[in-house]
């Protein structure tokens, strides 16, 4: 009796196994807490494209302030931002309805905007688009994959894309929150820096210039990204203690007396006191020490403590 040919079934099972492994790997990568939004989106797009066997993938995020969708990163378009009104196109329709849309023939669908294809020379054939929802069930973005490499997107692809979108939503929300906190923190520093500039017009813009050159030096030294961020913030806030120095001394156009110079020197002590009261997250807790040490000299002739050599914090030596 002839043995049944199970080749097709084995091939299907192997493909299913590979896809399940990819889904588990995707979940593992999301759990690694990638907080940079651009890096997170690049990872999500690459994994989604691979798992679904698609040529391209774009993750659109919802801009609630402007009632639109945007993507800073899109396959085939580099880092050029795409922005779509919420009432336009397939992605907009999915964001509004919260329902998945599977299009077998893009050019036969009136909702498809041919403008991108016309500008890039790409030919879109099939489109699978699904919403990315937060814990409250509100659409915070849209997943869109283009051109299934083999055949068209089917029901199984729809279920997998919805699963990927659900998994990604928490990670994207965390990255959003991190980005908002970072912007708030930097706007706080920038406001304080502007306040100092208005008090001391003779050195207006000084903190920004110091920050620029410190970061450039750090980049030339091949510091890691988190080290550059620490250096940037410590540089930006290094003169915060000038708030405690009398304006008549800060803005004095002529030579300072010995007593006046001693008061100027106190700004480093004030910097430490002011920044020491801020609750920095763990990786930024060196900032008060670094910022307060920017007038120390390698030979020990600096102030306020007169420390020298390696006793001076490394990043303070750069500043």
Residue 206 belongs to a domain with what CATH number? 1.10.3210.10
The answer as to whether 290 is a domain residue is yes
Given this model, what pLDDT does residue 19 score?
63
Do the Cβ atoms of 58 and 97 come closer than 8 Å? no
The answer as to whether 57 is a domain residue is yes
The answer as to whether 181 is a domain residue is no
Shared-domain flag, residues 135 and 243: no
Which residues span the domain enclosing 231?
Answer: 200-318
Beta bridge partners of 141: 61, 132
Shared-domain flag, residues 163 and 246: no
The residue among 29, 94, 27, 30 whose CA lies nearest residue 62 is 94
Shared-domain flag, residues 225 and 164: no
Given this model, what pLDDT does residue 31 score?
60
The Cα 43–Cα 18 span in angstroms is 18
**What is the full per-residue pLDDT of the chain (319 aa) written as tens digits?**
555 566 766 666 666 666 666 655 666 565 655 667 777 888 888 888 888 889 998 888 888 888 889 887 766 666 667 788 888 888 889 999 999 999 999 998 888 888 778 877 888 999 999 998 888 888 888 989 999 998 899 888 998 888 888 888 888 888 888 888 888 889 988 888 888 777 776 667 888 899 999 999 999 999 999 999 999 999 999 999 988 888 888 878 888 888 988 898 999 999 999 999 998 988 999 999 999 999 999 999 999 999 999 999 999 999 9
Shared-domain flag, residues 154 and 211: no
The answer as to whether 261 is a domain residue is yes
The answer as to whether 148 is a domain residue is yes
Given this model, what pLDDT does residue 76 score?
62
The Cα 154–Cα 132 span in angstroms is 19
Shared-domain flag, residues 308 and 222: yes
Tokens of 206: 């000084």
The answer as to whether 1 is a domain residue is no
Helices (H), the chain: 7-30, 37-52, 89-97, 115-120, 155-199, 206-220, 225-236, 247-250, 258-265, 267-276, 287-292, 314-318
CATH number of the structural domain spanning residue 32: 3.30.450.40
The answer as to whether 77 is a domain residue is yes
The residue among 138, 153, 168 whose CA lies nearest residue 59 is 168
Given this model, what pLDDT does residue 30 score?
59
From 176, 210, 238, give the residue that closes a domain.
176
Q: Give me the residue label for tokens 């930024």.
A: 284
The answer as to whether 119 is a domain residue is yes
Shared-domain flag, residues 151 and 205: no
Shared-domain flag, residues 163 and 205: no
Given this model, what pLDDT does residue 178 score?
82
Given this model, what pLDDT does residue 24 score?
59
Shared-domain flag, residues 229 and 300: yes
Shared-domain flag, residues 153 and 237: no
The Cα 261–Cα 266 span in angstroms is 9
From 143, 176, 209, give the residue that closes a domain.
176
The Cα 264–Cα 273 span in angstroms is 15
Shared-domain flag, residues 12 and 152: yes
Shared-domain flag, residues 18 and 137: yes
Shared-domain flag, residues 165 and 296: no
Given this model, what pLDDT does residue 20 score?
62
The total number of structural domains in the chain stands at 2
The Cα 154–Cα 156 span in angstroms is 5
Count CB-CB contacts under 10 A for residue 284.
18
Q: Ramachandran region of residue 25, left (φ > 0), alpha (ψ -120 to 50) or beta?
A: alpha
Given this model, what pLDDT does residue 86 score?
86
């Amino acid at each position: 009796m002839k043995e049944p040919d199970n080749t097709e079934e084995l091939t299907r099972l192997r493909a299913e196994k590979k896809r399940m492994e990819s889904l588990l790997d995707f979940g593992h990568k999301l759990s690694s807490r990638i907080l940079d939004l651009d890096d997170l989106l690049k990872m999500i797009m690459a994994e989604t494209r691979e798992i679904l066997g698609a040529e391209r993938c774009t993750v659109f995020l919802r801009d609630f302030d402007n009632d639109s969708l945007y993507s800073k990163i899109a396959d085939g378009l580099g880092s050029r931002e795409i922005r779509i009104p919420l009432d336009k196109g397939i992605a907009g329709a999915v964001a509004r309805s919260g329902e998945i849309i599977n299009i077998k023939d893009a050019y036969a669908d009136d909702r498809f905007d041919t403008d991108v294809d016309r500008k890039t020379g790409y030919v879109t054939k099939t489109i699978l688009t699904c919403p990315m929802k937060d814990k409250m069930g509100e659409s915070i973005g849209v997943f869109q994959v283009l051109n299934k490499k083999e055949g068209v997107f089917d029901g199984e692809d729809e279920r997998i894309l919805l699963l990927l979108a659900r998994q990604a939503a928490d990670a994207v929300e965390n990255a959003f929150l991190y980005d908002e906190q970072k912007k708030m923190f930097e706007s706080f520093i920038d406001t304080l820096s502007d306040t100092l500039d208005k008090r001391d017009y003779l050195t207006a813009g000084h903190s920004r210039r110091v920050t620029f050159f410190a970061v450039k030096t750090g980049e030339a030294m091949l510091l890691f990204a988190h080290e550059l961020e620490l250096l940037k913030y410590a540089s930006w806030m290094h003169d915060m203690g000038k708030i405690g120095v009398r304006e008549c001394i800060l803005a004095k156009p002529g030579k300072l007396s010995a007593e006046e110079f001693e008061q100027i020197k106190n700004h480093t002590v004030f910097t430490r006191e002011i920044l020491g009261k801020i609750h920095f997250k763990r990786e930024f807790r060196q900032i008060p020490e670094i910022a307060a040490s920017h007038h120390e000299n390698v030979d020990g002739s600096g102030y306020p403590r007169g420390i020298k050599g390696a006793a001076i914090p490394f990043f303070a030596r750069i500043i």
